[in-house]
Chains A and B, each alone.
Chain A
Amino acid sequence: MSSAATTLAVRSLTKRFGDRVALGDVSFELAPGELVGIVGPNGAGKTTLLSILAGVLAPDEGTLLGLERNAGWVPQQTSLYRKLSAAENLRLFARLEKLPDPEAAVARMLEQTGLADRSGEEVGRLSGGNQQRVNIAIGLLAEPAVLLLDEPSASLDPRQRERLWEFISALADRGTTVVFSTHNVSEVERYASRVLLLADGELLFTGTTGELDQTVGGDPRDFEAALVSFLHQRGH
């Protein structure tokens, strides 16, 4: 670990699929309470990076420091049993996580997600936004220091997105480090405290959205244009 204020340190992470380098020599650090957005074109390596951080994929090279306690992982598609209720889904994963008091963890997560009054409903009958809340709540059951979200708002309407980001921002405010991937540049601009820009498996930029604007030297009100310009300048 490079400093006491670092939650996670990634050093020279590399992942290959056959001859293709999905992720090449990626290094960065995360601090407690940071809300970090991973952006980049399709095939940039965003999901691969999150999968390695989550422990779903093993890297070919490189090290991860600070993940002694498992990171919470929320895959892009809701991974829930639709025939079970929200409470039953949470209870199952709390038991599989071997939490000391599963019922307390379930009650806490239902409270945090605001789903306590709908806890007995089958998940398949909940709205997409509420399903995603349960999906995230499962990732938070073990109270991880780092929460990894793969395109968390991809299937939500604007109102559901807004409520989701309020929830995620509150987590970061309480000290949880949140890393999310997205194609929605405005979400990064509004909520991320830092950006990781990936292209073809290479980490091209890490910093705030404002710093990226300054690097490109364009209109500071148009982050998307700045991002595209930056990629052009780097030959992507």
Chain B
Amino acid sequence: MRWLLVKDLQILRRSPLLVGLLIVYPIAIALMIGFALSSPPGKPKVAFFNEVPQDQGKIHIGNQSLNVASYASDLLRSIEPIKVHSEAEAVAKVRDGAALAAVIIPAALPRQIQSLITQGVGRPTVRLYLNTKDPIDQQFVQQAISTRINQVQADVSRRVLQVAVNDLREVLNGGSIQILGQNVHLLGLRNARTIVQGTVASLPARSDLRVALGQVAGFANLAIQGLGFASPVLGSIGSPLTVDETQLAGATTPTDAYAASIAVIVSLMFVTMLLAAGMLALERSENAYARLVRGLVTPGRLLTEKVVLAGGCASAVTLVMAALVSLFVHLDWSRFELWVAALALGGLAFGALGVAIGAAAREVSAASLLAFLVSLPIAFVALVPSNAVSGTLKTVLDVVAFVFPFKAALEAVTNAFTGSSPPIGLPLVHLAVLALVFGALARLALRRFAAR
């Protein structure tokens, strides 16, 4: 087998185009994924028109004031704005495709917000026009704008609540608050209670006012207790929400590392299957197969040599690819030996599938084409999310994904890169079994390999 390996490596060395493709292809994929994962998404082009005059953008909340213009500029940070001068012009930009969306800040917005804050009446509205031609673009711009609007809403709520809490404190302890733009001095419930209690103490023991003022002091006590609780409650509502995250079914895989795993396995699959199928079929195209199996090499050894050649070369190339990807995405180098194990067994399983295809197709061009055609659906089936389909179709897809190496290899490599679930043992055993099964199928297909 050693001399066959040497021979195949010599042939590969003299096929620079093929070898170049096999090396450049995964590296190109690695770099593309790396750049894609490390670059922030671009900002959507959005036509923006602010109808609010510069001097009318202020909203007064107690003794504080907010400026609508500052929130509008916040919104502009998450988009690439196209400044327009009318709502009609903004809509036209969306219609002709120059903008993915248009945002209109109506002139009445500050008044509407002011009314809502002070009287609880009104519904402040920002107008948004979306280009629905491309649903992906639509989702992209919707997310960008709604995220920013939610931040603005949260900020306004927080500041309104701050003012409300401060005013309650003034009512409790005394001080000054703004009502209708005027500073009003408040005595405060605590001070009022002290005064009433002092007055009651100074009254004659049999005075009729003692009972009445005692009721006033009791009410003041109750109010002080109630408002004492209200302040921290309101303050907590005004705080930003915190997320209580619960992890189910083990640790989650970072999205970037998962994407890197997919890129590595796709490359491993293509390189191994094309190489294994093509190099086996080459033995027949060169008319060497019959000569080899005439007592020099057994068919089983020939298959093993092709699987080792293809799996070994592809594993080495994808290992380099993973190292390159790790420049952009965090992969756990302390688990390097598991990287090697996952890629090696994945390579063997894909190699066995490749030689089965090569033995069945027999011609180099047919084998390469068939290997390519088989690869794509295998990857797609394994990547269909489990909740995307239901019933019988899900069962069928699960079975198909189980009988081909892509899913098991992806699980093994993802675990090797990140330590995520499921554990690596089962996928590795799965890959070893698939390698044996496809190897046996390839051996059966070799029975008619030499026939013309």
CB within 8 Å of B: which residues of A?
54-56, 70, 73, 75, 77-84, 88, 92-93, 95-97, 122, 138
Segment from B209-217, B294-302, B307-315, B359-367 that makes contact with A: B294-302
In the bound complex, how far is the Cα of B295 from the Cα of A20, in angstroms?
Answer: 28
B7 near A84: Cβ-Cβ < 8 Å: yes
B337, chain A: closest CB distance, angstroms: 34
- A138 to B287: give the CA distance in the assembly, Å: 13
B290 touches A75 (CB 8 A): yes
Complex formed: what's the CA distance from A78 to B296 in Å?
17
**Of B7, B287, B295, which one neighbours A70 at CB under 8 angstroms?**
B295
B residues 1-58 near A (Cβ < 8 Å) are 3-4, 6-7, 10-11, 14-15
Taking A96-B4, A96-B296, A97-B296 as known contacts, 7 extra A-B pairs with beta carbons closer than 8 A to each other, sorted by chain A number, are A56-B290, A73-B291, A75-B287, A81-B288, A82-B286, A83-B10, A93-B291
Q: Is B324's beta carbon under 8 Å from chain A?
A: no
Residues of A within 8 A of B92 (CB): none
- Asked if B292 is an interface residue, CB under 8 A from chain A, the answer is yes
Closest-by-CB residue of B relative to A73 is B294
Shortest Cβ gap from B135 to chain A (Å) = 51
Which residues of B are found within 8 Å of A138, using beta-carbon distances?
291
Query: Can you spell out 26 A-B residue pairs with CB atoms less than 8 angstroms apart?
Result: A54-B294, A56-B290, A70-B295, A73-B291, A73-B294, A75-B287, A75-B290, A75-B291, A77-B287, A78-B287, A79-B286, A79-B288, A81-B7, A81-B286, A83-B11, A83-B14, A84-B10, A84-B11, A92-B3, A92-B4, A92-B6, A93-B291, A93-B296, A96-B3, A96-B292, A122-B14
Please list the 7 inter-chain residue pairs (A to B) with the smallest Cβ-Cβ separation, ordered nearest first. A79-B287, A96-B296, A95-B3, A83-B11, A83-B14, A77-B287, A79-B291
Chain B contact patch, size range: 10 to 19
Q: What A residues does B290 contact at CB under 8 A?
A: 56, 75, 79
Instruction: Point out the residues of chain B lying under 8 angstroms from A93, CB to CB.
Output: 291, 296
Q: Report the Cα distance A213→B374, complex, angstroms.
A: 60
Chain B residues with Cβ under 8 A from A56's Cβ? 290, 294
Inter-chain contacts of B296 with A (CB < 8 A): 93, 96-97
List of B residues within 8 angstroms of A77 by Cβ: 287
Report the minimum CB–CB distance from A58 to chain B (whole Å): 12
Within the complex, the shortest CB–CB distance from B451 to chain A, in Å, comes to 11
CA distance A145 to B218 in the complex (A): 126
Q: How far is the CA of A93 from the CA of B295 in the complex (A)?
A: 12
Please give the distance in Å from B68's CB to the nearest CB on chain A: 74
Which residues of the partner chain B approach A82 to less than 8 Å between Cβ atoms? 286
Contacts of B3 in A (CB 8 A): 92, 95-96
Tell me the complex Cα distance, A88–B11, Å: 11
Can you list, as one digit per residue, whether each of B262-290 has a CB less than 8 Å from chain A (1) or not (0)?
00000000000000000000000011101
- Give Cα A79–Cα B286 distance, bound, in whole angstroms: 6
Which residues of chain A are near B14, meaning CB under 8 Å?
Answer: 83-84, 122
Instruction: State A78–B288 Cα separation when bound (angstroms).
Output: 8
CA of A78 to CA of B286 in the docked complex: distance in angstroms? 8
| Proximity bits, B49-89, A CB within 8 Å = 1, else 0 | 00000000000000000000000000000000000000000
Task: Give the nearest-CB partner of A79 in chain B.
Answer: B287
